[in-house]
Amino acid sequence: MGARRAEAAEGVAGGAGADGGPVVTRVPLLLRGQGPVLAVVALGGVMGAAARYGASLLWPTAHGTFPWTTFGVNAVGCALMGVLMVVITEGRQAHPLVRPFLGTGVLGGFTTFSTYAVDIERLTASGEVRTALAYLVLTPVAALAAVWAGSAATRRATAAAVAVAASRRRR
């Protein structure tokens, strides 16, 4: 790629070096302006992963048994994602960093597909094939049901709150 195309694709940022001369750094075009988003996703991811780790310490799963903690964490995280979807898309206007922080960051770090896959492999390797199959099927079913339940409950609660507010205004 030619120098002009590289500059156009990357963008050029500069400043003064220690000797007072120019310092040119190349910033990928896709990352320019995305620093705050990356920061809140990273911060939220750390918080969500720490919460999931805390849950695994509070409720450890014995080897060869149904991984209830991971199952529960994924279901709760999906229910909260359903709540978040309704609040952000149907509620008040949220700050642009709320969705990446809570959705991608916190809830993305809290829920875990990788541990789900590792749990299935460990159950299968230990001869617990029925448990592995049950977990394989039940987790996505529970996750989808939890998203639906979280969003439906939030819509009902929001509608009830709007109705109460409207009745108070009529008085």
Regarding predicted confidence, which is higher, 95 or 125?
A: 125
Do both 1 and 59 map to the same domain?
Answer: no
111 belongs to an annotated ligand binding site:
yes
Mean pLDDT calculated for residue range 89-97: 85
Higher per-residue pLDDT: 135 or 162: 135
Residues 41, 8, single domain; the answer is no
Residue 51's SS3 state is helix
Per-residue confidence (pLDDT) for residue 18, from 0 to 100: 66
108 with 146, same domain: the answer is: yes
- Is the separation of the CB atoms in 91 and 151 below 8 Å? no
Q: 3 with 71, same domain?
A: no
Please tell me whether residues 9 and 74 are part of one structural domain: no
- Are 37 and 98 in contact by the 8 Å Cβ rule? The answer is no
Q: 28 and 40: one domain?
A: no
d(CA 127, CA 118): 14
Q: Are residues 50 and 134 in the same domain?
A: yes
What does the pLDDT read at residue 93?
A: 83
Q: Of 80, 71, 91, 87, whose CA–CA distance to 148 is shortest?
A: 80
Residues 43 and 114 in one domain: yes
Say if residue 20 is in the same domain as residue 79.
Answer: no
Residue pLDDT, tens place only, 54-67: 999 999 999 999 99
Quote the number of domains for the chain: 2
pTM value is: 0.76
Q: Is 108 annotated as a binding residue?
A: yes
Which residues constitute the domain of residue 4?
1-32
User: Do residues 127 and 145 both lie within one domain?
Assistant: yes
Pair (67, 17) in one structural domain: no
Residues 16, 98, single domain; the answer is no
